[in-house]
Amino acid sequence: MTRSFKFEIESKDPNSLARAAAITTGHGRIPTPIFMPVGTRGTVKAIAPDDLMNIGAKIVLSNTYHLMLRPGEELVSRLGGLHKFMGWPGPILTDSGGFQVFSLSKLRKMTEEGVTFQSPYDGSRTFFSPERSIEVQTALGVDIMMCLDECTGYPATRAEAEKSMELTHKWAARCHAAWLQNDTDQVLFGISQGSFYPDLRRRSAEAISELDFPGQAVGGLALGEPLEDRLAALEAAREGISENKPMYLMGVGTPIDLIEGIKRGADMFDCVLPTRNARNGQMFTRLGRLVIKNARFREDERPPDEKCGCYTCRTFSRAYLRHLFQNEEPLAMRLASLHNLHYYLDLVTGAREALLNGAFSGYYTEFYENLRQGREEGFSKA
């Protein structure tokens, strides 16, 4: 069948690799650069889909591993697919499940064929492979599926990085073959690895490019490495990826990671940071991070960010939010998550508008100028 998927570049920054573009999927158009809120179990924690729409979310990410184990992809499929099940009509991307299989499960056996692991939910043994990952993601009915990859930890030796990269390439070819057998509107993105060895990063991105996926991701970053190593890996990978394909920087990161990623040509981002930190009372703002439980906000009548247009900032004071967190009121999590996601979406939307107006360098400078000003006013580093 002819797939709905399209990627069109709208504007390029003359001084960097940053660009504004648009991705078309069967469930809608995604203006880029874009941040994807993470809905691990088919829900962005503490946030309903109408909130997501109100703050301008265009695509959400969900986790294959968790949905496969509970409630199971067959149940989701029988009930009409993930969009209907979670009440989100827009585009959905799922990760391959690999990261969680390797990080959350008790591994039983790992071969080139696949992985046998023990479910942390009920202890049952499950076999997971590139084909199985595509099968689950197909059944969920998502718009963008991801290849199963293997990611080394940080730091990794060159030999370890090379071995896991080679396995990732073999698995990418198998995922690609499994995807081509499906007659659906879904697309599959490849993922390159290579740890923090720039030559491996480039080689991996080139190897994945040969399979000509509709989009390409850079995986295995934000594992605790310094920012400069992360950016060097991204730059090396970028050289091996066609500029006519969307580039997705996986699991990254802080507001600084986003602006630096955009500058280096990344189009898509996801991270649990804005939602996870919100639930701990940390709010990201233009001026830096605000630890809302701090005693100095006890009588602070100002909103978390005086220039933010979100519902939380339009309606509530720092003092009230601090009060909610101190009493562990569920509303605290919702209001802080709403603000943090709004800020992340605002950051990428602002970058996009600047790119369309030929003003990205100014936007980039202003981003750091705001953080500098914030540090003077006692905000924590972004």
* Stretch binding Zn ion (CB under 5 A), from 116-124, 209-217, 304-312, 374-382: 304-312
Catalytic residue list contains 199: no
Nearest CB to Zn ion, comparing residues 161 and 321 = 321
CB 101 within 8 A of CB 65: yes
Residue 161 lies near Zn ion (rule: CB under 5 A): no
Question: Of 156, 161, 308, 335, which one interacts with Zn ion (CB under 5 A)?
Answer: 308
Which member of 143, 270, 305, 346 is catalytic?
270
Tokens of 31: 């203006």
Residue 55 lies near Zn ion (rule: CB under 5 A): no
Dihedral angle sign, alpha carbons of residues 317, 369, 365, 196: negative
Q: How many residues bind Zn ion (CB under 5 A)?
A: 5
Q: Which residues within the stretch 260-299 sit at the binding site for Zn ion (CB under 5 A)? A: none
Residues 6+ apart with CB under 8 A from 143: 5, 25, 26, 27, 59, 91, 92, 93, 185, 186, 187
Find the shortest distance in angstroms from Cβ 305 to Zn ion. 5
Which member of 13, 51, 95, 346 is catalytic?
95
Q: Regarding beta strands 60-62 and 92-94, do their DSSP bridges make them parallel or antiparallel, or are they unpaired?
A: parallel
Find the shortest distance in angstroms from Cβ 98 to Zn ion. 34
* Stretch binding Zn ion (CB under 5 A), from 115-123, 324-332, 336-344, 368-376: 336-344
Find the shortest distance in angstroms from Cβ 313 to Zn ion. 3
Residue 334 lies near Zn ion (rule: CB under 5 A): no
Instruction: State the Cα angle at 342 between 339 and 348, rounded to 5°.
Output: 145
Residues 6+ apart with CB under 8 A from 2: none
Alpha carbon distance 34, 258 (integer Å): 10
Question: Of 202, 203, 339, 352, which one interacts with Zn ion (CB under 5 A)?
Answer: 339
Q: Regarding beta strands 268-270 and 215-218, do their DSSP bridges make them parallel or antiparallel, or are they unpaired?
A: unpaired
Examine residue 155 and say whether the peptide bond preceding it is cis (omega within 30 degrees of 0).
yes
Q: Which of 269, 246, 243, 244 is nearest to 256 (CA)?
A: 269
Tokens of 37: 């809120």
* Stretch binding Zn ion (CB under 5 A), from 12-20, 134-142, 146-154, 334-342: 334-342
Catalytic residue list contains 270: yes
* Stretch binding Zn ion (CB under 5 A), from 176-184, 219-227, 288-296, 303-311: 303-311
Instruction: State the Cα angle at 170 between 164 and 173, rounded to 5°.
Output: 140
DSSP SS3 for 71: coil
Question: Of 67, 165, 287, 313, which one interacts with Zn ion (CB under 5 A)?
Answer: 313
Nearest CB to Zn ion, comparing residues 278 and 313 = 313
Residues that bind Zn ion (CB under 5 A): 308, 310, 312-313, 339
Query: Which amino acids are annotated catalytic?
Result: 95, 270
